[in-house]
Copies of this chain bind each other. A is one copy, B any other.
Amino acid sequence: MDIKTSCLGVLSICDASGYEIRKAFEDGPFSHFAEGGFGSIYPALNKMEADGLVTCTTQAQDKRPAKKVYSITTKGRLALMDALAKDPADDKYKSDFLFSMFFADFQSARRIERLIDDRISQFEKEISHLGDPDNECMGVPKMTEGADFVRRFGLHMHQAAVEFLKEEKFRAVSAALKGESLVNQSSEAAE
Contacts and interface: CB of A to CB of B under 8 A. Distances in A.
Nearest to A90: B122
Given A144-B104, A157-B160, A99 B149 contact: no
Given A91-B96, A101-B146, 19 more contacts: A1-B99, A5-B99, A6-B99, A30-B102, A33-B93, A33-B95, A88-B100, A90-B122, A91-B98, A93-B93, A93-B94, A102-B150, A105-B144, A145-B176, A145-B179, A152-B164, A156-B160, A157-B161, A157-B164
Interface string A100-134: 11111111000000010011001000000000000
Contact of A91 (B6, B95, B153): B95
Interface string A78-101: 001100100111111111111111
A94 B94 CA distance: 8
Is chain A's interface secondary structure helix, strand, loop, or mixed overall? helix
Interface of A: 1, 5-6, 9, 12, 29-30, 32-35, 80-81, 84, 87-107, 115, 118-119, 122, 144-147, 149-150, 152-154, 156-157, 160-161, 163-164, 168, 172, 175-176, 179
A150 B101 contact: yes
Contact of A104 (B30, B146, B164): B146
A145 B84 contact: no
Nearest to A88: B96
Given A99-B6, A105-B146, A149-B168, A35 B94 contact: yes
Scoring A30, A89, A98, A172 by chain B CB atoms within 10 A of each residue's CB, the highest score goes to A98
Contact of A99 (B88, B107, B152, B163): B88
A91 B93 contact: yes
Contacts of A152: 164, 168
Contact of A147 (B32, B102, B153, B157): B102
